[in-house]
Each structure stands twice: as structure tokens, then as C-alpha cells.
Amino acid sequence: MKPTYRLLTAFCCLGLGTPLLRASDNDIKDNEFNPVNTGVTTLSITPDARGSAMGNLGAATDPDMNSQFWNASKYAFGYSTGGLSLSYTPWLRKIVNDIFLADLSGYWKIGSGDNQALSASFRYFSLGEVSLNSGSSAVQTINPYEFALDVGYSRKLSEKFSMGVVLRYILSDLSYEDTSSGETNSPANAFSVDLSGYYVTYPMVGRNECQFSFGFNISNVGTKVSYDHGANYAYLPTNLRLGCNFMFPLADYHNVGIGLDLNKLMVPTKPRRSDYDMDTTEGQDAYNAAEEKWQTMSPITGIFKSFNDAPGGFKEEIQEISLSLGAEYSYNQQFFARIGYNYEHPNKGGRSYFGFGAGFSLNVVKLDASYMLATAQSSPLDQTLRFTLTFDMDGLRDLIGRRRK
């Protein structure tokens, strides 16, 4: 691959290449295309195969080992004493073969009464090898990466409701040094917190006991990141996720769950030059003042500002909400089939796709796989695969106990 194209791909996968994803959509006017810009956008990438197969869904689904990303408060309702999960995603595999996301997640129930859980996860995103060019020749090769390490605590506050909190450290290393100009780019560090809640109840529908759950997760509330020694700052992808899920039995050993998630980035919208008359001094001054205000705004202020700052008003604010709709079929909790759809408005990036997946579970090990089929043929996200391997501690303990006997 040519070095210049390789570098473009690297920035594309960080979310800076959003316009590439809508290149085939000729119906969008330039003054209407206005995605929300953030730093460390890899924090928003789904790590596990189950959630991605259902169209990026997980705020209110049954607890599993990967709940740290979706809603850590679900761990308090976990069916097992603990577990560990390893996920791997070859990212943008249609274009390159060395960009990937790896995620390790797990939890452990603590205390008496099965009401509390500690959890942790580590996610590592590698952009592979990137060549920086000066003219037509490569002058430097770098290996940029990002990782996040977090720990969480969740607790039942009643028989039906739990809450959780997650503390996260983030490192984004895109650093380089231009020997010809002396320009440098430094690693970015940040800290953030997630706050989540999960409610579950078991209504009777006819003669069948069903399960209805609701969940929310406010994630990545934290400091800004800077790659140029504080000259410019970027917001973390602070996100509000709301979800509900309804699970009902079809027959003995056969269950179906249907879920819906809504997502909104709680990040202020960056001012656009197209909204100002840049041919006049007054317009340039107004734009510069608006951009400076956006740059210096605190993340907490930006969260509240994000609900009413879109240039297109309420209509555009609604466009910033992405939707995930998915379903999961299970047989005896051993075989799983999943399908889902994720929708993002074309004016906000248009990263919409269908998800498909399956899973197989034994007493100790569970293997899940998913496949993404983008609605736009030109999308580099098309044909994305994910794999998740899960280990259940209760099953492992039972297996060891039987062998000892």
C-alpha cells in the first residue's frame, strides 16, 4: 500500500475520515453534513461479537462478560460468580491487514448476598505501521496505538435495580517528530468515568414468564485530549446510551430477545465556516470567537450544551441520535443466533449497517462471531468480523470439581 494512502486510512479509522463514508451519497448538501467531532473515537468501537451482531446493542440485554462496555451495572445481576472474555476485531480489513482492536474484559462477584461485583477491562487498538512522507519519499515509520484500562464497581440497590460506576485511564499515542521542521506530536492522556443503571422485571404474558429490562449508560465523561502540547484540545466521545430489551419464551428451551438502543454523543458541535460569511471581517471574527469558545468550553458544560447547539436546531439534534435494533434467539442457552441493524443519519456520518452472528456455549467456554454488512458499498466498515471467546468461572470450577472426584 502507498504510504500516503496508508496514513489516510489511519486517520479514517480514528473517525477523521467520516466524509469518506458518505462519498457515494450525492443527495446530502455540504452545508448539512455536520458530524460531531471527538478525539479517541476508538472508545466508541464495539469490542464484542454479541453486541455487534445485534446492530451495536447492549444497554439492557442479559448480563455477560462484556457488559463493561455496554452497561457495567448489569454485572450485579450476572448469573455466574465471574468470568473472562477476550475479543478480537480485524478493523478495516477490506483496506489493510494490520489494524485491529483487542479487548479483555471480566468481572467477579464479591461479598455476601450476590449483590456486588468488581469488573475490569483493557482494550488496545493498533493502527499498524504508518509511513509519514516528505514529498514523495517516506521519512519516518510510526506504530500509533490507543488503549484504555478501566475498573468498575456495580451493586444491586433493590431486587430489580442496580447501578454501576467505571473509572478509566486512556492513552492515545499518535506521536511523531518531523526532523526537517522540528514539529512534534505528543501522546494524549485522559481520565474518564462511566455511570450506569439497569432495571429488570419479570411480567407474565399469558402463561409465560417474560423478562423486560431497561438500562442507561453515560460513558467517557472526562478530561479533554491534546496531541500538540495543549495548543488544541479534543473532547472525549462522551455518550448517552438508553436501551430496553424484552425476552420471551417460544417453547421449552427456546427463547427470543428483542432490544432497542438509542445513542447520542454529548459533545458540543464545532462551529462550521459555512455558517459564517467568511468574505467579511465581521464573519471571520464571529467564526473565530465561536471556535475559541468551543475550544475552551469545559467537558461538563459541553455535555449540557450538546443538547441545543446544532446549527439546524431541533431537527439536527434529532439527527444526532443513532438507533440500534436487534434480536437474539437462544436454544437451551447453548446455541445463539443474532441479527441487528444500526442506523446513523447521513448528515452525521451515515455509518449504518446490518449485523449477523452466532454463538456456541459449553459449560466452560463460549465462542461468538459476528459479521457486519454496511448499507453503503463504499464503506470501509463493510465485511467487518469480530470474535469473542468467553470463560465462565462457575463452569470451570464445576469441571475441576468433577475431575477431582
Q: Which residue has the higher pLDDT, 148 or 13?
A: 148
Confidence of residue 9 (pLDDT cuts 50, 70, 90): very low
pLDDT > 70? residue 56: yes
Q: How far apart are CA 123 and CA 219, in angstroms?
A: 15
Q: Which residue has the higher pLDDT, 231 or 120?
A: 120
pLDDT > 80? residue 378: no
Q: What is the mean pLDDT of residues 49-57?
A: 96
Confidence of residue 256 (pLDDT cuts 50, 70, 90): very high
Instruction: Take residue 336 and report the three cell numbers written for it.
Output: 445463539
* pTM listed for this prediction: 0.89
Distances in Å between the Cα of 329 and the Cα atoms of 32, 54, 256, 359 are: 39, 11, 5, 10
Q: What is the mean pLDDT of residues 128-148?
A: 75
> 80 by DSSP, 3-state: which?
coil
What lies within 8 Å, CB to CB, of 269 at 6+ separation is 34, 36, 306, 309, 310, 311
pLDDT > 60? residue 25: no
Confidence of residue 398 (pLDDT cuts 50, 70, 90): low
pLDDT > 80? residue 131: no
Summarised one tens digit per residue, pLDDT across range 203-224 is: 999 889 999 999 999 999 999 9
The pLDDT value recorded for residue 27 is 46
Q: Which residue has the higher pLDDT, 300 or 20?
A: 300
Share of the chain above pLDDT 90, in %: 58
